[in-house]
A and B are shown apart, each in its own frame.
Chain A
Amino acid sequence: MTLKMIRGYPEYMRESIEMVEKTRDERIKNKEKEIELKMSLEEREELLNKFHPDYAPGGKRELQVGVNRGEIVPNEVADILEAWPALNPDEVDLNDIDYDVDILIIGGGGAGTVAALWANYEGVPAENILIATKLRHGDANSMMAQGGIQAADRPWDSPIIHYLDVMGGGHFANKHELVKALTEDAPFIIRWHEELGVMYDKDEKGNFIERWGGGTSRKRLHSAKDYTGMEIMRVIRDEARNRGIPVLEFSPAVELITTEDGEIGGAILWNMETKEYYVVRAKATILATGGWGRLHIRGFPTTNHYGATADGLVMAYRAGARLRDLDSVQYHPTGAAYPEQIVGLLITEKVRGMGATPVNKYGQAFVFPLEPRDVEAAAFIRECYARNNCVKTPTGMRGIWLDSPMIEELQGEGAIRKNLDAMYRMYKRFGIDMTKDPILVFPTLHYQNGGVEINANAQVIKGDGSPYPRFFAGGEVEGGVHGKNRLMGNSLLDYNVFGRRAGISAAKVVRNSGKPGKLTLKHVKLFAEEIRRIGVPEWRRSPILLPDYRGKRALARKIDLPILE
């Protein structure tokens, strides 16, 4: 059976597209009235409880070991937190130090690079900094952000309004001091970017062209076409290269090193190509390993990069750091649902921000397009799995339409090519023209709302509530900034604000303290005993470093011969 394809879609999906086309003019005329679909807080809650993967029962369990014992996290996260350490501490010689540095930065994405730059600005020589990263420098979620970055810089906006939006978006579970830092530093970060030469979209006067993001009360999303994340990341990476900051690629950290006096003193890296380990001793250690998308929580596809496997959570947890808000998982309402090749990849919120309305199989609008994203996602799932007003793809995915051609009508012809070129290009590669046809979407696993708890100096918080003097975290790996739900545009901001604060704090440690105390991996052994106690199967090890997508058939026939290991 071959499907008859018409301009990228199978014939049967075209029938639904025709219905979407029929209602389009009417919907454009009434665009302003969409706000009437907006839900009350009670309505939102009810919808979330029934249809959001994060609220629906069966996806989570209580942690049995460690600082957060008794707290609820997704099963997939519990599986790696409650796992045997991948590294056997007895195989490591801590006396043989390979890198003896001032600052070790774990993770060469956005937060790690920003931290390195600010430590350097603060006087730590480049050669005394080391960035250790899992893939290449910049292979990171930071490279993939499309929509933009928030900062309240317009006269009718203010850091305080921004603060309110963040708190409400996070269901008021955010840490005040972190949200204050986030919103108050934001304009400064944007100015820093201007000075580094980031090409933001601007008007003739130099003011930013700002757009809506879901859950915000002002247009304050700064973007650089729909390559915002890439543009910022490649500029800061270029600057790190100009300054000669050393980067070890394909050498992830696999365990933190603690000290006899209960501090963090560096990490063990593992060269994935030669399988050698390296001992790094550092006066200050910064965790910047990003998020968890590649854990595929609840089996959802993800928008995240290949290395987003929550290693940072695992390592920090074993060393005694406190985690928070990990019970809440962010799904992005609009992941690609078709074609199969790009399932799960992000369709930026900007598509809705610019006017595309989500509509069902019959071309009817069923939800206010700019609800907070968890509400939006739940509404899509209801439309697909309860009301059945969805389109089914040939591989069994279900989705609803995002009526992208509306953008061309509302914003003028060419608006998509001008502002959403990455999206346009992605669909075109698979034969679909999103300026003429709608695109099919379904929620996708997107963001780690919580993480390692920090304070406003980016210091990591221990189990007893006190901060580690030498251990910092910034970016998606940390928690508390976004409470239970991050709003779009606040995580690029997060990695800049807290990456910077981590870098500055670490530089202070370098100025004021000597080498860390005697290095040890005792905490790993202690943790392993806990793991034994709760009877975790031998094969469950972490950090996992990379997901495994090998085909079932190939894996079934895979054997390891003990010769060419």
Chain B
Amino acid sequence: MGKKVELLDVDSEKIMEEIRKAASPPEEVEHWVTIYVMGKPYKVPAGLTIMKALEYAGYRYIRGAGCRAGFCGACATIYRKKGEYRFRTALACQTTVEDGMYLAQIPFVPANKATYDLDKVKPSPNILLEYYPEIARCVSCNTCTKACPQELDVMYYVQAAIRGDIKRVAELSFDCIQCGLCTLRCPAEIQHYHMAQFARRLYGKYMLPKSPWLTKRLKEIESGMYEKGYEILKKMLEKEPEKFKELYINRVREKEEKRIMNPLELEGED
């Protein structure tokens, strides 16, 4: 069965060394830029992220680096470019350095989160206002939207929150990484991302229907109907490992329409 793997005459160890080299920082730097880290100039290679550039310059992060991949919001950064009036925001791990950046990273964003018992609250139209009354103070300046490194429609979700449209808040804010930049910039002192978290949980819990299939499966598990299957497999694994392997190999991959209830009946199919 099957085709043979091409037995190329390869030196696996050498290949691994080549990979190591390819993945390390290049020895020679061709293009440089100058950035100003909290006012101090540093010459760094062009094409690095702000985060890697700071490290290149000799900084070692304790605060300000989390996922290093745009998912955690630990690396909120503010900057201006030389000679430009515009105030900019970015994620240090997801933004390439540019010549003449004056930048500072925000180590921490003070923001209060409301506490609630999700089992007791109800997704009523006023609930967001009740727990985060300051959203009513929004002056629609759109500064939050401009600050958002995820390019979310932050002002719209605040407006939706005021209207009590929980679904809209949940959907518009879904990609929020809770970096806090909107909250730092807001003249109305709104704590957008905490409010949105509340809205999403309300939506997930109360407005998305619970899965009927899941309910059914939970009942089955509770009834103990799978225990016997596990027992059989355990024994087979211990006593007849080859048979166990065969069972695995011959298990059938789901096709859209095909429904198989029990893998122990699978042998020989397809």
Binds A, one of B33-41, B77-85, B257-265: B257-265
- Tell me if B96 and A56 are in contact (CB < 8 A): no
- Tell me if A197 and B209 are in contact (CB < 8 A): no
Binds B, one of A186-194, A316-324, A474-482, A515-523: A186-194
| Closest beta carbon of chain B to A296's beta carbon, Å | 8
- Tell me if A299 and B71 are in contact (CB < 8 A): no
- Tell me if B62 and A250 are in contact (CB < 8 A): yes
| Cβ contacts under 8 Å, A51 to chain B | 10, 12, 15
A56-B12, A168-B248, A250-B62 are contacts. A305–B95 as well, Cβ < 8 Å? no
Most buried by B among A55, A194, A250, A341: A341
| Cβ contacts under 8 Å, A194 to chain B | 204-205, 208, 210-211, 214
| Cβ contacts under 8 Å, A87 to chain B | none
| Closest beta carbon of chain B to A3's beta carbon, Å | 10
- Tell me if A153 and B175 are in contact (CB < 8 A): no
- Tell me if B205 and A230 are in contact (CB < 8 A): no
- Tell me if B254 and A429 are in contact (CB < 8 A): no
| Cβ contacts under 8 Å, B67 to chain A | 139, 143-144, 305-306
Q: In the complex, which of the residues A57, A161, A187, A549 contacts B251, with contact meaning CB atoms closer than 8 Å?
A: A161
Q: In the complex, which of the residues A155, A197, A231, A239 contacts B259, with contact meaning CB atoms closer than 8 Å?
A: A155
Binds B, one of A19-27, A111-119, A217-225: A217-225
**Residues from 511 to 565 in A contacting B, C-beta threshold 8 Å:** 546, 548-551, 554-555, 558
- Interface of B (DSSP majority class): loop
| Cβ contacts under 8 Å, B68 to chain A | 305-306
Q: In the complex, which of the residues A39, A40, A244, A395 contacts B115, with contact meaning CB atoms closer than 8 Å?
A: A244
Q: Nearest chain-B residue to A139 (Cβ)?
A: B66
Binds A, one of B132-140, B181-189, B233-241: B233-241
Q: Nearest chain-B residue to A134 (Cβ)?
A: B62
Q: In the complex, which of the residues A229, A235, A422 contacts B70, with contact meaning CB atoms closer than 8 Å?
A: A422
In the complex, whether A180 has a CB less than 8 A from a CB of chain B is yes
| Closest beta carbon of chain B to A401's beta carbon, Å | 17
Measured in the bound complex, the distance between the Cα atoms of B210 and A448 in whole Å is 33
In the complex, whether B268 has a CB less than 8 A from a CB of chain A is no
- Tell me if A42 and B174 are in contact (CB < 8 A): no
In the complex, whether B87 has a CB less than 8 A from a CB of chain A is no
Measured in the bound complex, the distance between the Cα atoms of B249 and A41 in whole Å is 9
- Tell me if A199 and B170 are in contact (CB < 8 A): yes
Measured in the bound complex, the distance between the Cα atoms of B253 and A379 in whole Å is 22
A190-B214, A250-B62 are contacts. A197–B200 as well, Cβ < 8 Å? yes
- Tell me if B55 and A158 are in contact (CB < 8 A): no
Residues 94-105 of B, flagged 1 when their CB comes within 8 A of A and 0 if not, give 111000000000
- Tell me if B72 and A143 are in contact (CB < 8 A): yes
| Cβ contacts under 8 Å, A55 to chain B | 12
Q: In the complex, which of the residues A158, A159, A161, A341 contacts B96, with contact meaning CB atoms closer than 8 Å?
A: A341
Chain B: how many interface residues by the 8 Å CB criterion? 104
- Tell me if B113 and A241 are in contact (CB < 8 A): yes
Interface size class of A (residues with CB under 8 A): 35 or more
| Cβ contacts under 8 Å, B210 to chain A | 191, 194, 206
Q: Nearest chain-B residue to A162 (Cβ)?
A: B263
**Residues from 140 to 186 in B contacting A, C-beta threshold 8 Å:** 150-151, 170, 174-175, 177-178
- Tell me if B4 and A197 are in contact (CB < 8 A): no
| Cβ contacts under 8 Å, B116 to chain A | 242
| Cβ contacts under 8 Å, B65 to chain A | 135, 306
In the complex, whether A99 has a CB less than 8 A from a CB of chain B is no
A184-B221, A184-B226 are contacts. A550–B263 as well, Cβ < 8 Å? no
Q: Nearest chain-A residue to B8 (Cβ)?
A: A386
- Tell me if A207 and B213 are in contact (CB < 8 A): yes
- Tell me if A303 and B69 are in contact (CB < 8 A): yes
In the complex, whether A4 has a CB less than 8 A from a CB of chain B is no
- Tell me if B18 and A385 are in contact (CB < 8 A): yes
| Closest beta carbon of chain B to A20's beta carbon, Å | 22
| Closest beta carbon of chain B to A163's beta carbon, Å | 7
Q: Nearest chain-B residue to A199 (Cβ)?
A: B204
In the complex, whether A473 has a CB less than 8 A from a CB of chain B is no
| Closest beta carbon of chain B to A13's beta carbon, Å | 15
| Closest beta carbon of chain A to B89's beta carbon, Å | 13
In the complex, whether B110 has a CB less than 8 A from a CB of chain A is no
Measured in the bound complex, the distance between the Cα atoms of B250 and A40 in whole Å is 12
- Tell me if A306 and B66 are in contact (CB < 8 A): yes
Measured in the bound complex, the distance between the Cα atoms of B261 and A218 in whole Å is 12
- Tell me if A56 and B118 are in contact (CB < 8 A): no
- Tell me if B217 and A153 are in contact (CB < 8 A): yes
In the complex, whether B47 has a CB less than 8 A from a CB of chain A is yes
Q: Nearest chain-A residue to B108 (Cβ)?
A: A136
Q: Nearest chain-B residue to A135 (Cβ)?
A: B66
Q: Nearest chain-B residue to A56 (Cβ)?
A: B12
Q: In the complex, which of the residues B115, B202, B234 contacts A242, with contact meaning CB atoms closer than 8 Å?
A: B115
In the complex, whether A261 has a CB less than 8 A from a CB of chain B is no
- Tell me if A395 and B74 are in contact (CB < 8 A): no
| Cβ contacts under 8 Å, A90 to chain B | none
Q: In the complex, which of the residues A49, A164, A422 contacts B233, with contact meaning CB atoms closer than 8 Å?
A: A164
| Cβ contacts under 8 Å, B69 to chain A | 144, 303, 305, 342, 345-346, 426
| Cβ contacts under 8 Å, B122 to chain A | none
Measured in the bound complex, the distance between the Cα atoms of B2 and A163 in whole Å is 26
In the complex, whether A53 has a CB less than 8 A from a CB of chain B is yes
**Residues from 322 to 347 in A contacting B, C-beta threshold 8 Å:** 339-346
| Cβ contacts under 8 Å, B3 to chain A | 43
Measured in the bound complex, the distance between the Cα atoms of B253 and A164 in whole Å is 12
Q: Nearest chain-A residue to B117 (Cβ)?
A: A242
- Tell me if B5 and A205 are in contact (CB < 8 A): no
Q: Nearest chain-B residue to A385 (Cβ)?
A: B15
- Tell me if A202 and B57 are in contact (CB < 8 A): no
In the complex, whether B88 has a CB less than 8 A from a CB of chain A is no
Q: List 24 A-B contacts (CB under 8 A).
A: A39-B5, A50-B10, A56-B15, A57-B12, A59-B16, A143-B67, A155-B216, A161-B263, A194-B208, A194-B211, A195-B205, A197-B204, A225-B175, A239-B118, A241-B115, A242-B116, A242-B118, A299-B23, A340-B47, A341-B48, A396-B26, A397-B23, A430-B96, A549-B60
Ordered nearest first, which 4 A-B pairs have the shortest CB separation?
Answer: A299-B20, A206-B209, A554-B58, A197-B201
Besides A341-B47, A386-B10, 18 other CB < 8 A contacts? Answer: A40-B2, A58-B12, A151-B214, A158-B226, A159-B221, A159-B226, A164-B233, A197-B201, A197-B206, A207-B212, A208-B213, A225-B175, A235-B197, A238-B198, A239-B118, A273-B62, A425-B70, A554-B56
